[in-house]
């Protein structure tokens, strides 16, 4: 392992985590904490979450829910720092400094911004535009060298690299340029509109949370859209179900795929098999989550520990950046 490897990633507390968040991010985070213990920083990015409309009374509970999902999925506070973004105030301060060297044109080009602008047409705020600068601050504050992300975040990471280069060029060498670590292939689509990705802020029927009850998994999958494409082709809905099955039972997925190629697939069978497999796969997760939920003080304590670890690094980096910029 290179001595200076450091890993950072974050998830917004915008709802309970779903299969997409797990297969596209969390599963990979757990593997990385085992491969690179003591240098992973995993963050609940609540400052990002408030760029879209939300209910203030629910925010703290959502942060807590996300922490439960992190821990139940296998993130281990002895190997990785798990913390809440807003509690390390250096994130906001570095973001302001980076604001001053980021061209507005670069922000306006971001696909996610353009997409969110459409989705929240009555709530286009500066935070939505500046979202990638806060993400750059999250990453650069820890001098992260590797950022595990889904395909959808690669453009933001490229901007982070540009910001780091510009800062280094203008004020002197300060930040390494972080590399993306792409999660292989797992882009999970909505159950109700499989041309869109599975999203927490979408309607409940469109996603399966990691702690979803077996009956509910069954009923959501039963109603999942599975329009076949041309004959022998699964269509986006069926393909999505196979993508999910591939991760937990590759052999069965292959068999269903062969059935589909032969024009003999029975979606009811695929859905019912997948429901059983998901129920089994996430059984231990549900148990761990329930147990953790019954000890809220211990969970908040873990988050506090993680925050303290994060703050030690964050405050040293911010101090260095301010020094380079001439503040101190
Ligand atoms: N459908 C998905 N398939 C694969 N990966 C996904 N991720 C999210 N959805 C899928 C990955 O999860 C990580 C954290 O995402 P986030 O919560 O910070 O924001 P998001 O990508 O916007 O996730 P959601 O569920 O769609 O949240 P909302 O609805 O609040 O916007 C990222 O690494 C992402 O790639």
> How far is the centre of ligand 1, averaged over its atoms, from the C-alpha of 113 (Å)?
14
Domain with CATH 1.10.240.10 in the chain: 204-285
Fold of 204-285: Tyrosyl-Transfer RNA Synthetase (1.10.240)
Q: What are phi and psi of 270, to 5 degrees?
A: -60, -45
> What pLDDT shows up at residue 2?
46
Tokens at 327, concatenated:
């503040």
Tokens at 298, concatenated:
């211990």
Contacts of 226 (CB under 8 A, 6+ apart): 234, 235, 237, 238, 241, 267, 270, 271
The model carries a pTM of 0.94
Q: How many Cβ atoms sit within 10 Å of the Cβ of residue 288?
A: 16
Q: How many Cβ atoms sit within 10 Å of the Cβ of residue 296?
A: 12
Contact between residue 155 and residue 175 where contact means Cβ atoms under 8 Å apart: no
The CA distance from 189 to 207, in Å, is 9
Q: Is 255 exposed, middle or buried (0-12, 13-18, 19+ CB in 10 A)?
A: middle
CATH of segment(s) 7-186+296-324: 3.40.50.620
Helix (H) or strand (E) holding 136: helix 126-140
> How far is the centre of ligand 1, averaged over its atoms, from the C-alpha of 172 (Å)?
34
> How far is the centre of ligand 1, averaged over its atoms, from the C-alpha of 21 (Å)?
5
324 annotated active-site: no
Q: How far is CA 6 from the centre of its chain?
A: 18
Domain with CATH 3.40.50.620 in the chain: 7-186+296-324
3-state secondary structure of 155: helix
Q: How far is CA 275 from the centre of its chain?
A: 24
322 annotated active-site: no
> What pLDDT shows up at residue 123?
84
Q: How far is CA 7 from the centre of its chain?
A: 14
Mean pLDDT in order along the chain per 10 residues (328 residues): 80 94 92 96 97 95 98 98 98 98 97 88 92 98 94 92 98 96 81 92 94 97 82 84 93 93 88 98 97 98 98 98 97
CA-based torsion, 189, 195, 197, 201: positive or negative: negative
How many residues appear in the chain? 328
Ligand 1: list residues with CB < 6 Å. Answer: 11-12, 14, 20-21, 23-25, 149-150, 152-153, 186-188, 197-201
C-alpha triplet 53, 244, 191: angle, nearest 5°:
45
The CA distance from 30 to 71, in Å, is 10
3-state secondary structure of 43: strand
* Top mutation candidate among 8, 17, 24, 115 for ligand 1, by most atoms within 8 Å of CB: 24
> What pLDDT shows up at residue 235?
86
116 annotated active-site: yes
């Amino acid at each position: 392992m290179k001595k200076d490897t450091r890993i950072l990633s974050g998830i917004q507390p915008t709802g309970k985590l779903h299969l997409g968040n797990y297969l596209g991010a969390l599963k990979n985070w757990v593997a990385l904490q085992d491969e690179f213990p003591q240098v992973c920083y995993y963050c609940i990015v609540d400052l990002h979450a408030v760029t879209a409309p939300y209910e203030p009374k629910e925010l703290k509970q959502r942060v807590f829910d996300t922490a439960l999902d992190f821990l139940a999925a296998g993130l281990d506070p002895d190997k990785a720092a798990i913390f809440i973004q807003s509690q390390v105030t250096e994130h906001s301060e570095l973001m302001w400094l980076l604001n001053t060297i980021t061209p507005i044109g670069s922000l306006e080009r971001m696909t996610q911004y353009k997409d969110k602008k459409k989705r929240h047409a009555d709530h286009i705020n500066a935070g939505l535009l500046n979202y990638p600068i806060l993400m750059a601050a999250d990453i650069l504050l820890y001098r992260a060298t590797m950022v595990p992300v889904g395909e959808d975040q690669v453009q933001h990471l490229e901007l982070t690299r540009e910001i780091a280069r510009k800062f280094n060029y203008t004020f002197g060498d300060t930040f390494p340029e972080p590399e993306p670590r792409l999660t292989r292939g797992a882009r999970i689509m909505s159950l109700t509109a499989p041309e869109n990705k599975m999203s927490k802020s979408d309607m409940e029927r469109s996603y399966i949370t990691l702690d979803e009850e077996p009956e509910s998994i069954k009923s959501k999958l039963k109603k999942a859209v599975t329009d076949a494409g041309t004959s022998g082709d699964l269509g986006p809905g069926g393909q999505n179900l196979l993508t999910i099955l591939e991760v937990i039972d590759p052999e069965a997925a292959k068999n269903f795929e062969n059935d589909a190629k032969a024009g003999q697939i029975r979606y009811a069978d695929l859905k019912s098999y997948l429901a059983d497999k998901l129920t089994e796969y996430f059984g231990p997760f549900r148990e761990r989550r329930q147990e953790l939920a019954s000890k809220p003080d211990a969970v908040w304590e873990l988050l506090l520990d993680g925050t303290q670890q994060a703050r030690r690094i964050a405050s040293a980096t911010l101090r260095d950046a301010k020094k380079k910029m001439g503040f101190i």
